[in-house]
Structure 1
Amino acid sequence: MEHVVARPETLYVGTPAYLIATENPDGTANLSPASSYWALGRTLVLGLELAGQTARNLLERPDITVSFPDGDLWRAVLRLDGTTGRDPVPTEKLPRYRHVADKFAEAHLTPQASDLVSVPRVEECRLQFEARVRRTTTGLDGSYLMVEAEVLRVHADPDILKPGTDLPDPARWSPLVYQFRHFFSTGEELGWLPKSPTADGPPPA
């Protein structure tokens, strides 16, 4: 196999798109799309623009929710592109961004009350995390924030759980995936790890 030098405009090779809700100073909810994400144990590590309202909110009020849309909701995520809860819009976000106060309404999505945190989940998302920020670190170039958050509770649509369990079944649900500025849904299952608690048998040879 031959390779050539590539110069991608972004390094998003395929990560889940998610919607993060935070609390504004007036007690209303801000909702933002994001896709820099990974998880280890009960900790989420999120990458967020430092100039946005989301970063400002969680630095002062650490309760957040992270809701994962599936492929059918990609247009809702797209409606939030180019919007910010910051008013006035920061200089570094002009001219591409515009201020929107009610992001849920802008995305045509419904806020759903949380159990353990002060901010709502996204009702239309079939997998939702309630979490609390435990640590933040400013990125190398000062333009982004690395956020470590502890997941306090997970909510799921029963239809995406393995029947008879409380375990999400990846064969029953596919998250929206963000890949090089394009949206995809995950495709055909190819295999699984031997330790998977939802697999019906050993991995295919």
Structure 2
Amino acid sequence: MHATIEPGILYFGTPVVLVSTVNADGSFNLAPMSSAFWLGWRCMLGLAAGSKTPQNMRRTGECVLNLPSVDLVAAVDRLALTTGSDPVPAMKQRKGYRHEPDKFAAAGLTAVRSETVAAPRVAECPVQLEARVEAVHGIADDDALLKGHIQCFEVRVQRVHVEAGLLMDGARDHIDPDKWRPLIMSFQQFYGLGPRLHDSRLGTIPEAAYRTPDIDRARKAPTADASGGELTTRAV
């Protein structure tokens, strides 16, 4: 028997992403979000248009998608109800948000240099994806009350950094799903993955079959700074 209901949200479960961007004054912003999905080397990010992160992404055309593991749940939660916007937008004020100028320090995370973008990576995240904004799509623009409030950012990944311990044994470019334990947000609560339930027939398709020209584009991405190392929370 199914019940017909009207839940306020439909967050059935997606990975948490910490999006790092550069503010207009050169400082760094870090924002948790979970409305994301990937196709090839592209990712779609659903964001409130008036927040600091989408403002930065529209201005700079870039970001880093940092994927935390379940071990970082406390750090991610420390970023909850914080915003890089000052003053705090009225909608966020009503929800209890406060302005936080140094998101990395607030979360207890470390900013490190990226190779192809100015936005920093999060050192503690086992997966870090440097990306360029390719398109911005409006969501619910057919509704007069919602038009302009929600946007979907299409980003193209151009550098992938992964902890070596997540790779399949003997493989250079393949992540082992049995080793990867992403932090999951489901109906605004944190969860992780359990053990594999069943082998997938889709999993018999070689990953090479999904390769797109974006991988070749990524190889040609200009290097912004390849020196690595920890950053202060001010751009350098």
TM-score (norm: length of structure 1): 0.92
Stretches of 4+ moved more than 6 A in 1? none
Partner SS, residue 160 of structure 2 = strand
**Alignment-derived partner of residue 30 in structure 1:** 29
**Rounded Cα–Cα distance in structure 1 between residues aligned with 2:38 and 2:99:** 31
The amino acid across from 1:143 in the alignment is H
User: Within 5 A, what are the aligned runs for 1:7-156?
Assistant: 7-95=6-94, 96-140=96-140, 141=146, 142-156=148-162
The amino acid across from 1:159 in the alignment is G
Partner SS, residue 56 of structure 1 = helix
Offset, 1:20 = 0.2
The amino acid across from 2:161 in the alignment is H
The amino acid across from 1:152 in the alignment is Q
Partner SS, residue 76 of structure 1 = helix
1:189 aligned to 196, 200, 209, which one? Answer: 196
Partner SS, residue 119 of structure 1 = coil
Partner SS, residue 94 of structure 1 = helix
Offset, 1:117 = 0.7
The amino acid across from 1:52 in the alignment is S
The amino acid across from 2:159 in the alignment is R
**Alignment-derived partner of residue 232 in structure 2:** none
Gaps of 5+ in 1: 198-205
The amino acid across from 2:28 in the alignment is A
Distance 1:196-1:5 versus aligned 2 partners, 3 A rule: farther
Offset, 1:27 = 1.3
Aligned-pair identity (%): 41
**Alignment-derived partner of residue 202 in structure 1:** none
**Rounded Cα–Cα distance in structure 2 between residues aligned with 1:48 and 1:105:** 23
The amino acid across from 1:177 in the alignment is I
TM-score (norm: length of structure 2): 0.80
**Alignment-derived partner of residue 175 in structure 2:** 168
Offset, 1:196 = 5.3
Offset, 1:181 = 1.2
**Rounded Cα–Cα distance in structure 2 between residues aligned with 1:8 and 1:174:** 28
**Rounded Cα–Cα distance in structure 1 between residues aligned with 2:5 and 2:167:** 40
